Structure 1
Amino acid sequence: MITPKFNCSQTETSVIVNLYTPAIRASDVEIHVEECLLSVHVNPYFLRLHFPGPVVEDDASSARYDAGTGYLTVTLAKVNQGEDFKDLDILASLLAPPRSEPSTSRPVIEVIGGEEAGEESLTKDEREILEAAENDWHLPQHPADDESIHIATRHYYGFLDMYTGYFNHVSHTENEVNELGADVEKLTPRERRERRIKHENEKWDEDHYMADFADDDMIQELISYRFSSESPFSRSSSPIAFTEEEDLIMLRLPTKEYLTTHLQAHNIYLTLMTLLASYAYESRTTQNDPTPESAWTICSLTPAFSALDPPPYPTSPPVISPSHSNEFTSSELQSTLIPFIRRAIAFPLYRNFALAKQCIRDVSNALCRGKRGVLRALLGLKDILDGHEVYYIYSKIWVDDMCSWVSRSASESKLQEVGELLNNLEIEKDAIEWDLQALEDVTRNASNRAPDSDDEDEDSSTRSISESETDSISPPTSSSSSSTTLSSSISSDAGTV
């Protein structure tokens, strides 16, 4: 079946769904409405939507097909007149299946036989469990050996660690951002992190950083660049309206239900910040005009892509695992974004600490604009990765699910809360561990150094030589004056692509 293009709107009393279903028979359309669920089927199209509130098919409802435009318009009445259905423009949330309610029924245990029944056949472990049950469930605990901790032959990665096997043949592809080599499928999360940090230290170039700090005209221009109001990284308070192209991308997103714990949801928000930071750097340095290097830049700046190493990262002091998903600390946010800053001043063309911090403020703007701002940024990031013949794989294992999760499960208030925290977050240069302040001081002192006596003697001798050479030059002869120099100028009209 084909999922048709569609859009939704609402009034105080009804919901209107427009489906693009060209070349169909109106008499073949089947519409089914049940509480919050709408199903539309007409060969070869099928659409099932789950609305935020209940709807009903009554006398005020209608379905009309325009053969000229190919649009089928379905109007359904709201059960609760005046109810506002939120996020009707986020199509992925409408396509997702309804949330499954947790089971409230208690398990039923049937005891067959008495104490003596089957007791002789119990194993040693089963006897320990029975004895522990009589003693307030204090089960015997034995520390595991280091060698017995990682016994799985397959290691998982990606969104909620749902993927494996995507890099079995990475050595045969032109994946320049992969920092794990051919062993990517065999490494544990701890080994991935160790290789990532080692690679960052190897890529760090003091000379490049000092050169960018000394000659920073272009970098200052990038820092002062202002995004348009349609960009998710702008400070505009105007609402974001998705384009038709963005709607089509959302229609292709996986329709999954993500059953996450509080801790898993908490870590997803942290990973989301790193993805937005990488895309903010790419958008700012290209002034919102992607280049063929944009996919490489995004993947290189994102630890979850290049090293399959998403947050959380170690913090000092350690952060206690949150019991509620709305608990974020400054130290945790700082540890999440420090790897991005390290990579932003070690990998791409423009390496500047102030530029990296400006990108973090851009992330704050996107989060403060809520779910729509974040979705627009993720869809833009996805569009860049999907267009690359190698790096599209990171869109499959990370960005697709992140877009679906944001549209389905992310909290508007939580996104805005994290955005406000980032806006007030201060990350010192000492946290990067590369002596940035010392390097900047040396560069600043070298650029402000007054010329010494040797420099003055050399300059005066140079001027004397130049003056003597000028005096010895004879005026041009008549033959040289009669020579003609031709100059031509080439003008070209800018083409429009």
Structure 2
Amino acid sequence: MTTPKFTLSQEPDTITINIQIPFVKNDDLDYLITEKEFYLKVTPYYLKLEFPSEISNSNEQITYDEKTESVNVLLHKQTKGKYFENLEQLKAKTEEINITDSQKDFNFTKNQLPKEKKVKKEEEKEKEKATKKENEKENEKEKEKEKEKEEGGINSLVQKVDKLKIKEKTYRYGFNDLYTNAFELFHSVLDQIIEIPDPKNVSPKERSKRSFTILENKFDPEHYMADYAMEDNLIDYIEYLPFWYPKQEEKKENKQKTFALSEKEQKSLSKLPTKKYNIIQQHTTLLGLVDLLFCYSYDNRINLGDDNPESSWTISKLSPTLSCLENFTSLKELLIKCIKRSISYPLYRNWKLSEKIIQDVKQIIKSGKMMIVKCLLDLKNIFDLTTNRYIFSKIFINDYCTWVNQLENEDLFQNILEELNELKLNQNDIGWKLNKLEEIVKIVKLEQKNNNK
């Protein structure tokens, strides 16, 4: 387990602990208070603090600050006015205790945690467990020393070199390649979130290869033909007019619709961490935005603008940026991947529908920065409400919201819009012989029609 960064301060009657814990969701934390100790656990982080004097195991206050991604703990001293010597130099203990055996889980709410009654841990059991762990550690150390002596220290040196090599091969991902350890919390459910195992040890090139292989095996020609045969059933989705299009009266008056964030959206935006970005690959970052808008538009259109509990799954599966942590340098390559996913994963798989989604992306970008932010905030809300996929907000959506909102010059959006308008894709670009599959359906339908005469 990893010890998180923390700071301590005190007032005459209270102690404040600020604990830095990124990538955590509200209901993932467990904590415990005993006479002189405070424990906090959220995989892979573990913190144990032993105070010089007793603390109260009631009336504690715990809040989560989404902006700084930190947990703030306010504890009360058992003896009011007592000064805790050298509190600022207090170091975390390393021995662990199973908090969940002694403490019920509690649930976060945004910026506010409910109070929970704490259960004391018997000191004797804790000391006994700590002693046992220390003995085990000492035995392990002795064994390692003996092994090193026997093998002349060569194996130890090789292991150190190997570790250095592994560190050199750690790969980044997420918005602007800012993250490396975001998925450490999700080992047991990683395959339910992304399609890349242990992503920090998989190169971008290998991610793309794996994405290609998975996608080629996923495409189902029969499903595609069945949807094409029943294309009339998709008319409502194809003709649906999402909120980013001007209404009929606005079209008649030839007015350019302006968009403003709602009070709720403004509040959500204000809670995001304030960051300044040094964008390494600007075009790649913009292509990631196009990808997110594509999968968001698809979900919005097939749900006719309504909420759907399956939205987070649909969006993440349609997006190669999210599902495989891919980076793109070519708009054509990106859109081919997006279209392939849109006719491989969701319930409705249709070429015309996918073409309509590309038009949606163009319209959103054409509508300007605030419309893009509006869509991203809605996307963030979809992921924030899910059990595991909230991590996409942490490593992609939050940063995109902040970055887009900070941009003063909207020429970037105009440039990518021009690129979208100039790019012409056809079914041959996809490589799955879609036109032949559709031709087969037409022939079968014609034969059925002739047989019915």
Class of the TM-score when normalised by the shorter of the 2 chains: 0.5 to 0.7
Q: 2 CA distance for matches of 1:231 and 1:451?
A: 41
For residues 447 and 410 of structure 1, the distance between their equivalents in structure 2, rounded to whole angstroms, comes to 54
Residue in structure 1 matched with residue 22 of structure 2 by the alignment:
none
Q: Aligned pair 1:208/2:223, yes or no?
A: yes
Q: 1:188 aligns with which of 161, 181, 203?
A: 203
User: Following the alignment from structure 1 to structure 2, what is the Cα–Cα distance between the partners of residues 308 and 419?
Assistant: 23
Q: 1:153 to 1:424 in 2, by over 3 A?
A: closer
SS at match of 1:431: helix
2:291/2:338 contact within 8 Å kept: yes
Q: Deviations over 1:373-412 (max 9, x none)?
A: 1111111111101111110001100111111111113632
Match of residue 180 from structure 2: 164
Corresponding position of 1:434? 432
User: Are residue 260 (structure 1) and residue 276 (structure 2) matched?
Assistant: no
**Would you tell me which structure has more helix in proportion to its own residues?**
2
1:308 aligns with 2:306: no
What's the counterpart of residue 228 of structure 1?
243
Give the counterpart letter for 1:239 in structure 2: T
SS state of the match for residue 259, structure 1?
coil
TM-score (norm 1): 0.54
Report if the CA contact (8 A) 2:244-2:364 is conserved.
Answer: no
1:416, distance to aligned residue in structure 2 (A) = 2.7
Residue aligning to 1:271: 288
Letter in structure 2 aligned against 1:245? K
In 2: Cα distance, 1:445 partner to 1:374 partner: 43
CA contact (8 A) 1:157 1:164 kept: yes
Does structure 2 conserve the Cα–Cα contact (< 8 Å) formed by 1:280 and 1:363? yes
SS at structure 2 position matched to 1:363: helix
Q: Distance in 1 between matches of 2:202 and 2:213?
A: 15
Q: 1:419 aligns with which of 392, 417, 427?
A: 417
Partners of 2:311 and 2:382 within 8 A in 1: yes
Aligned position for 1:11? none
**1:372 and 2:370 matched:** yes
Per the alignment, residue 443 of structure 2 pairs with: 445
Aligned to 1:137: none
Give the whole-Å Cα distance in 2 for the aligned partners of 1:164 and 1:229: 35
Measured in 2, the distance between the counterparts of 1:381 and 1:170 equals 21
- 8 Å Cα contact 1:364-1:420 kept in structure 2: no
Correspondence 1:154 to 2:170? yes
Q: Equivalent residue for 1:62?
A: none
Q: Runs of 4+ in structure 1 displaced over 3 angstroms? A: 148-151, 228-232
In structure 2, the CA distance between the partners of 1:451 and 1:259, relative to structure 1 (3 Å rule), is closer
Per the TM alignment, residue 184 of structure 1 is displaced from its structure 2 partner at its CA by: 2.7
Which letter maps to 1:244?
E
Alpha-carbon shift at residue 171 of structure 1 (Å): 3.6
2:398 and 2:353 map into 1 onto residues whose CA distance is 28
RMSD between superposed Cα atoms in Å: 2.6
Match of 2:195 among 168, 176, 179: 179
Between the aligned partners of 1:191 and 1:229, the Cα distance in structure 2 is 36
Q: What does residue range 290-309 of structure 1 map to in structure 2 within 5 Å?
A: 290-309=307-326
CA gap 1:166/1:222 in 2 versus in 1, 3 angstroms: same
After superposition, the Cα gap between the structure-2 partners of 1:425 and 1:153, relative to the gap in structure 1 and judged at 3 Å, is closer
Distance (Å, rounded) in 2 between the aligned partners of 1:431 and 1:151: 39
Q: Secondary structure at the match of 1:173?
A: helix
Is there any run of 5+ residues in structure 1 with no aligned partner, and where? 1-147, 313-331, 460-497
1:268-347 equivalent positions in 2, closer than 5 A: 268-312=285-329, 332-347=330-345
Counterpart AA for 1:398: F
8 A Cα contact 1:196 1:307, kept in partner: yes
Residue pair 2:245, 2:363 contacting (<8 A) in 1 also: no
The structure having more radius of gyration, on CA atoms, is 1
**Identical-residue share of aligned pairs (%):** 33
Q: Is the 8 A contact 1:366 1:419 kept in 2?
A: no
How far the C-alpha of 1:230 sits from its partner, in A, is: 7.6
SS in 2 for 1:155: coil
- Contact 2:299–2:311 (8 Å) recurs in 1: yes
User: Structure 2: how far apart are the matches of 1:410 and 1:198?
Assistant: 40
TM-score normalised by L of structure 2: 0.59
Alignment of structure 1 residues 12-27 onto 2, 5 Å: none
Once residues 178 and 245 of structure 1 are traced to their aligned partners in structure 2, the CA distance between those partners, rounded to angstroms, is 30
Q: CA deviation at 1:450?
A: 5.2
- Which deviates more from structure 2 when the two are superposed, residues 291-300 or residues 400-409? 400-409
Once residues 340 and 292 of structure 2 are traced to their aligned partners in structure 1, the CA distance between those partners, rounded to angstroms, is: 15
One-letter code aligned to 1:200: L
Of the three residues 269, 272, 280, the one matched with 1:250 is: 269
User: For residues 372 and 260 of structure 2, what CA distance do their matches in structure 1 show?
Assistant: 13
Alpha carbons of structure 1 residues 259 and 447: separation in structure 2 relative to 1, 3 Å: same
1:305 to 1:450, Cα distance in 2 relative to 1, 3 A: closer
Summarize the Cα distance change of 1:353–1:249 in structure 2 as closer, same or farther, 3 Å threshold. Answer: same
CA contact (8 A) 2:172 2:180 kept: yes
CA apart distance, 1:342? 0.5
Structure 2 distance, partners of 1:402, 1:277, is 15
Measured against aligned partners, the alpha-carbon deviations of 1:273-314 in whole angstroms (never above 9, x if no partner) come to 0110010001101011120000011101111111111212xx
Q: Which digits, 9 at most, give the CA deviation of each residue in 1:152-201, with x for residues without a partner?
A: 242211011111112235341275242113x3332111111111111111
The question of whether the paired residues in 2 share the 8 Å contact of 1:210 and 1:440 is answered with yes
